[in-house]
Structure 1
Amino acid sequence: MNHRTTLAAVLAVTAGLTLAGCSTSSDKPALKVVGGFMPQPVNDMAAGFLVVRNNGTGDDRLTSVTSPLSDDVTIHETKNDVMRKVTSFDVPAGGELDLERGGNHIMFMKLKKQPKQGQKVSVELHFEKAGAIEVDLPVKETTHNPKKQ
Protein backbone atom coordinates (compact mmCIF):
# COMPACT_ATOMS: atom_id res chain seq x y z
CA MET A 1 0.00 0.00 0.00
CA ASN A 2 1.38 3.42 -0.84
CA HIS A 3 1.30 6.51 1.38
CA ARG A 4 -1.63 8.14 -0.43
CA THR A 5 -3.84 5.07 -0.04
CA THR A 6 -2.91 4.77 3.63
CA LEU A 7 -3.57 8.47 4.23
CA ALA A 8 -6.92 8.28 2.43
CA ALA A 9 -7.95 5.26 4.52
CA VAL A 10 -6.97 6.97 7.79
CA LEU A 11 -8.87 10.14 6.83
CA ALA A 12 -11.97 8.15 5.86
CA VAL A 13 -11.98 6.24 9.16
CA THR A 14 -11.36 9.43 11.16
CA ALA A 15 -14.16 11.28 9.36
CA GLY A 16 -16.54 8.37 9.94
CA LEU A 17 -15.73 8.23 13.66
CA THR A 18 -16.10 12.00 13.97
CA LEU A 19 -19.52 11.96 12.28
CA ALA A 20 -20.68 9.02 14.37
CA GLY A 21 -19.61 10.79 17.55
CA CYS A 22 -21.43 14.01 16.68
CA SER A 23 -24.78 12.58 15.67
CA THR A 24 -27.01 11.35 18.45
CA SER A 25 -24.82 11.05 21.53
CA SER A 26 -25.79 14.54 22.72
CA ASP A 27 -29.35 14.39 21.32
CA LYS A 28 -31.23 13.20 24.38
CA PRO A 29 -34.92 13.53 25.11
CA ALA A 30 -35.98 15.11 28.41
CA LEU A 31 -39.55 13.97 29.00
CA LYS A 32 -42.12 15.26 31.48
CA VAL A 33 -45.72 14.05 31.73
CA VAL A 34 -48.39 16.59 32.70
CA GLY A 35 -52.17 16.94 32.77
CA GLY A 36 -52.97 13.24 32.90
CA PHE A 37 -56.46 11.93 33.71
CA MET A 38 -58.91 9.11 33.08
CA PRO A 39 -62.64 9.77 32.84
CA GLN A 40 -64.53 7.40 35.15
CA PRO A 41 -65.38 4.38 32.98
CA VAL A 42 -69.00 3.36 32.46
CA ASN A 43 -68.23 -0.18 31.21
CA ASP A 44 -65.21 -2.50 30.90
CA MET A 45 -63.27 -0.01 28.74
CA ALA A 46 -61.56 3.26 29.61
CA ALA A 47 -59.42 5.93 28.00
CA GLY A 48 -56.42 7.83 29.33
CA PHE A 49 -55.25 11.28 28.38
CA LEU A 50 -52.04 13.21 29.08
CA VAL A 51 -49.36 15.41 27.59
CA VAL A 52 -45.72 14.34 27.20
CA ARG A 53 -43.40 17.35 26.92
CA ASN A 54 -39.94 16.87 25.50
CA ASN A 55 -37.60 19.68 26.57
CA GLY A 56 -34.58 17.74 25.32
CA THR A 57 -32.59 17.97 22.11
CA GLY A 58 -33.48 14.48 20.86
CA ASP A 59 -36.68 12.98 19.55
CA ASP A 60 -38.30 10.03 21.29
CA ARG A 61 -41.21 7.70 20.68
CA LEU A 62 -43.96 6.32 22.93
CA THR A 63 -44.02 2.62 22.06
CA SER A 64 -46.44 1.13 24.60
CA VAL A 65 -48.33 1.58 27.85
CA THR A 66 -48.88 -0.95 30.63
CA SER A 67 -51.10 -0.84 33.70
CA PRO A 68 -52.29 -3.14 36.48
CA LEU A 69 -55.84 -2.01 35.55
CA SER A 70 -55.81 -4.05 32.34
CA ASP A 71 -53.72 -6.61 30.48
CA ASP A 72 -54.93 -5.05 27.21
CA VAL A 73 -53.66 -1.45 27.02
CA THR A 74 -53.05 0.07 23.58
CA ILE A 75 -52.42 3.46 22.04
CA HIS A 76 -54.85 4.81 19.46
CA GLU A 77 -54.88 7.64 16.98
CA THR A 78 -58.04 9.36 15.83
CA LYS A 79 -58.27 10.77 12.31
CA ASN A 80 -61.50 11.95 10.72
CA ASP A 81 -63.44 10.61 13.71
CA VAL A 82 -62.02 7.11 13.11
CA MET A 83 -60.02 5.48 15.91
CA ARG A 84 -57.30 2.92 15.15
CA LYS A 85 -54.57 1.18 17.11
CA VAL A 86 -51.00 2.32 16.38
CA THR A 87 -47.60 0.96 17.38
CA SER A 88 -46.08 4.28 18.50
CA PHE A 89 -46.36 8.06 18.77
CA ASP A 90 -43.52 10.49 18.11
CA VAL A 91 -42.42 12.90 20.84
CA PRO A 92 -40.37 15.52 18.97
CA ALA A 93 -37.44 17.36 20.54
CA GLY A 94 -38.66 20.69 21.88
CA GLY A 95 -42.27 19.59 21.32
CA GLU A 96 -44.97 17.49 22.87
CA LEU A 97 -47.28 14.54 22.40
CA ASP A 98 -50.85 15.49 23.28
CA LEU A 99 -53.20 12.62 24.07
CA GLU A 100 -56.60 14.30 24.38
CA ARG A 101 -60.34 13.66 24.15
CA GLY A 102 -61.43 13.40 20.55
CA GLY A 103 -57.86 12.73 19.46
CA ASN A 104 -54.98 10.36 20.14
CA HIS A 105 -55.32 8.48 23.45
CA ILE A 106 -54.54 5.46 25.60
CA MET A 107 -57.17 2.70 25.49
CA PHE A 108 -57.77 0.24 28.35
CA MET A 109 -59.82 -2.85 27.45
CA LYS A 110 -61.26 -5.57 29.72
CA LEU A 111 -60.76 -3.64 32.96
CA LYS A 112 -59.93 -5.78 36.01
CA LYS A 113 -61.86 -3.33 38.22
CA GLN A 114 -63.91 -0.15 37.85
CA PRO A 115 -61.92 2.85 39.09
CA LYS A 116 -64.08 5.55 40.66
CA GLN A 117 -63.81 9.32 40.57
CA GLY A 118 -61.17 10.50 43.04
CA GLN A 119 -59.03 7.35 42.72
CA LYS A 120 -55.81 7.08 40.72
CA VAL A 121 -54.82 4.60 38.02
CA SER A 122 -51.15 3.67 37.73
CA VAL A 123 -49.70 3.45 34.22
CA GLU A 124 -46.21 2.94 32.86
CA LEU A 125 -45.34 4.72 29.62
CA HIS A 126 -42.61 3.00 27.60
CA PHE A 127 -40.38 5.17 25.41
CA GLU A 128 -37.84 4.12 22.81
CA LYS A 129 -34.98 6.18 24.31
CA ALA A 130 -36.08 7.46 27.72
CA GLY A 131 -37.26 4.05 28.94
CA ALA A 132 -40.24 3.69 31.27
CA ILE A 133 -41.99 6.53 33.09
CA GLU A 134 -44.57 5.76 35.79
CA VAL A 135 -47.57 8.06 36.04
CA ASP A 136 -50.73 8.08 38.15
CA LEU A 137 -53.84 9.18 36.25
CA PRO A 138 -56.48 10.74 38.52
CA VAL A 139 -59.97 9.44 37.76
CA LYS A 140 -62.26 12.35 36.92
CA GLU A 141 -65.98 12.61 36.23
CA THR A 142 -67.08 10.83 33.05
CA THR A 143 -67.54 14.09 31.11
CA HIS A 144 -64.26 15.75 32.23
CA ASN A 145 -62.60 17.61 29.36
CA PRO A 146 -60.02 20.22 30.41
CA LYS A 147 -59.61 21.49 26.81
CA LYS A 148 -63.21 22.74 26.78
CA GLN A 149 -63.18 24.61 30.08
Structure 2
Amino acid sequence: MNRRTTLTALSTAVALAGAMALGGCSSDDGPELKVHGAFMPQPVGDMAGGFLTVTNSGDAADRLTSVTSPLSDDVQIHETKDQKMRQVKSFDVPADGELKLERGGNHIMFMAIKKQPKQGEKVRIRLNFEKSGPIEVDLPVEAATHNPSKH
Protein backbone atom coordinates (compact mmCIF):
# COMPACT_ATOMS: atom_id res chain seq x y z
CA MET A 1 0.00 0.00 0.00
CA ASN A 2 1.22 3.45 -0.76
CA ARG A 3 1.13 6.33 1.70
CA ARG A 4 -2.02 7.87 0.20
CA THR A 5 -3.99 4.60 0.38
CA THR A 6 -2.85 4.08 3.98
CA LEU A 7 -3.93 7.61 4.97
CA THR A 8 -7.33 7.19 3.26
CA ALA A 9 -7.90 3.85 5.01
CA LEU A 10 -6.84 5.33 8.35
CA SER A 11 -9.10 8.40 7.90
CA THR A 12 -12.05 6.17 7.03
CA ALA A 13 -11.45 3.98 10.10
CA VAL A 14 -11.25 7.01 12.40
CA ALA A 15 -14.44 8.51 10.92
CA LEU A 16 -16.31 5.21 11.33
CA ALA A 17 -15.12 4.80 14.91
CA GLY A 18 -16.25 8.36 15.70
CA ALA A 19 -19.66 7.82 14.12
CA MET A 20 -20.13 4.58 16.03
CA ALA A 21 -19.17 6.26 19.32
CA LEU A 22 -21.59 9.15 18.72
CA GLY A 23 -24.37 6.77 17.73
CA GLY A 24 -23.84 4.81 20.94
CA CYS A 25 -24.07 7.93 23.08
CA SER A 26 -27.33 9.10 21.55
CA SER A 27 -29.19 5.84 22.16
CA ASP A 28 -28.23 5.61 25.86
CA ASP A 29 -28.32 8.00 28.78
CA GLY A 30 -31.81 9.36 28.27
CA PRO A 31 -35.46 8.91 29.09
CA GLU A 32 -37.46 6.44 26.97
CA LEU A 33 -41.12 7.30 27.43
CA LYS A 34 -44.28 5.39 26.50
CA VAL A 35 -47.88 6.20 27.35
CA HIS A 36 -50.56 3.61 28.12
CA GLY A 37 -53.92 3.28 29.83
CA ALA A 38 -55.07 6.70 28.62
CA PHE A 39 -58.75 7.69 28.97
CA MET A 40 -61.14 10.53 29.70
CA PRO A 41 -64.43 9.97 31.53
CA GLN A 42 -67.29 11.55 29.58
CA PRO A 43 -67.57 15.09 30.99
CA VAL A 44 -70.81 16.18 32.66
CA GLY A 45 -69.99 19.91 32.84
CA ASP A 46 -67.54 22.37 31.35
CA MET A 47 -64.48 20.63 32.83
CA ALA A 48 -62.99 17.21 32.18
CA GLY A 49 -60.29 14.99 33.63
CA GLY A 50 -57.67 12.97 31.80
CA PHE A 51 -55.82 9.94 33.06
CA LEU A 52 -52.88 7.89 31.80
CA THR A 53 -49.56 6.33 32.77
CA VAL A 54 -46.18 7.43 31.41
CA THR A 55 -43.58 4.67 31.66
CA ASN A 56 -39.89 5.54 31.45
CA SER A 57 -37.68 2.56 30.57
CA GLY A 58 -34.65 4.83 30.16
CA ASP A 59 -31.81 5.48 32.56
CA ALA A 60 -32.56 9.20 33.03
CA ALA A 61 -35.50 10.95 34.63
CA ASP A 62 -37.70 13.39 32.76
CA ARG A 63 -40.46 15.81 33.70
CA LEU A 64 -43.96 16.37 32.30
CA THR A 65 -44.12 20.17 32.01
CA SER A 66 -47.45 20.81 30.27
CA VAL A 67 -50.36 19.34 28.34
CA THR A 68 -52.16 20.95 25.40
CA SER A 69 -55.33 19.94 23.56
CA PRO A 70 -57.77 21.33 21.00
CA LEU A 71 -60.52 20.57 23.57
CA SER A 72 -59.46 23.43 25.86
CA ASP A 73 -57.23 26.48 25.83
CA ASP A 74 -56.57 25.89 29.54
CA VAL A 75 -55.25 22.39 30.24
CA GLN A 76 -53.69 22.04 33.69
CA ILE A 77 -51.85 19.32 35.57
CA HIS A 78 -53.08 18.77 39.12
CA GLU A 79 -51.78 16.91 42.11
CA THR A 80 -54.09 15.57 44.78
CA LYS A 81 -52.86 15.66 48.38
CA ASP A 82 -55.05 15.17 51.44
CA GLN A 83 -58.05 14.95 49.10
CA LYS A 84 -57.38 18.46 47.77
CA MET A 85 -56.46 19.29 44.17
CA ARG A 86 -53.96 21.96 43.24
CA GLN A 87 -52.33 22.95 39.98
CA VAL A 88 -48.61 22.15 39.68
CA LYS A 89 -45.96 23.23 37.16
CA SER A 90 -44.67 19.71 36.43
CA PHE A 91 -44.58 16.02 37.36
CA ASP A 92 -41.43 13.93 37.60
CA VAL A 93 -41.11 10.82 35.46
CA PRO A 94 -38.40 8.81 37.27
CA ALA A 95 -35.73 6.83 35.43
CA ASP A 96 -36.85 3.20 35.06
CA GLY A 97 -40.18 4.19 36.65
CA GLU A 98 -43.57 5.64 35.89
CA LEU A 99 -45.85 8.60 36.37
CA LYS A 100 -49.45 7.59 37.09
CA LEU A 101 -52.22 10.07 36.47
CA GLU A 102 -55.34 8.39 37.88
CA ARG A 103 -58.75 9.04 39.40
CA GLY A 104 -58.45 10.19 42.99
CA GLY A 105 -54.81 11.14 42.42
CA ASN A 106 -52.67 13.28 40.15
CA HIS A 107 -54.41 14.04 36.84
CA ILE A 108 -54.88 16.25 33.79
CA MET A 109 -57.64 18.88 34.06
CA PHE A 110 -59.35 20.44 31.04
CA MET A 111 -60.88 23.76 32.05
CA ALA A 112 -63.68 25.46 30.06
CA ILE A 113 -63.92 22.72 27.43
CA LYS A 114 -65.00 23.83 23.96
CA LYS A 115 -67.34 20.88 23.28
CA GLN A 116 -68.75 17.88 25.10
CA PRO A 117 -66.98 14.74 23.87
CA LYS A 118 -69.19 11.66 23.97
CA GLN A 119 -68.37 8.11 25.01
CA GLY A 120 -66.67 6.32 22.10
CA GLU A 121 -64.98 9.48 20.76
CA LYS A 122 -61.31 10.35 21.24
CA VAL A 123 -59.70 13.55 22.49
CA ARG A 124 -56.22 14.42 21.19
CA ILE A 125 -53.65 15.70 23.70
CA ARG A 126 -49.98 16.60 23.52
CA LEU A 127 -47.73 15.82 26.48
CA ASN A 128 -44.72 18.15 26.70
CA PHE A 129 -41.60 17.01 28.52
CA GLU A 130 -38.48 18.77 29.75
CA LYS A 131 -36.00 16.46 27.95
CA SER A 132 -37.93 14.21 25.58
CA GLY A 133 -39.87 15.35 22.56
CA PRO A 134 -43.64 15.81 22.89
CA ILE A 135 -45.91 12.77 22.74
CA GLU A 136 -49.35 12.97 21.13
CA VAL A 137 -52.00 10.71 22.61
CA ASP A 138 -55.66 10.05 21.86
CA LEU A 139 -57.73 9.75 25.04
CA PRO A 140 -60.68 7.42 24.45
CA VAL A 141 -63.81 8.89 26.06
CA GLU A 142 -65.28 6.35 28.47
CA ALA A 143 -68.41 6.27 30.64
CA ALA A 144 -68.48 9.02 33.27
CA THR A 145 -68.03 6.41 36.02
CA HIS A 146 -65.16 4.51 34.29
CA ASN A 147 -62.34 3.71 36.70
CA PRO A 148 -59.92 0.96 35.63
CA SER A 149 -58.19 0.92 39.03
CA LYS A 150 -61.44 -0.36 40.59
CA HIS A 151 -61.45 -3.49 38.40
Q: Give the structure-1-normalised TM-score.
A: 0.83
Counterpart of 2:120 in structure 1 is 118
Counterpart of 1:84 in structure 2 is 86
SS of the equivalent of 1:147 reads helix
The answer to whether 1:69 aligns with 2:82 is no
**Cα offset, 1:140, TM superposition:** 0.1
SS of the equivalent of 1:131 reads coil
Q: Which among 41, 44, 56 is matched to residue 54 of structure 1?
A: 56
Q: Which among 138, 141, 144 is matched to residue 142 of structure 1?
A: 144
Return 5+ residue gaps in structure 1 as ranges: 1-23
Counterpart of 1:105 in structure 2 is 107
d(CA) in 2 for partners of 1:27, 1:71: 34
d(CA) in 2 for partners of 1:117, 1:130: 31
d(CA) in 2 for partners of 1:143, 1:31: 28
**Cα offset, 1:52, TM superposition:** 0.1
1:73 partner letter: V
Counterpart of 1:129 in structure 2 is 131
Return 5+ residue gaps in structure 2 as ranges: 1-24
Counterpart of 2:32 in structure 1 is 30
d(CA) in 1 for partners of 2:118, 2:82: 31
**Cα offset, 1:131, TM superposition:** 1.9
1:143 partner letter: T
Q: Give the structure-2-normalised TM-score.
A: 0.82
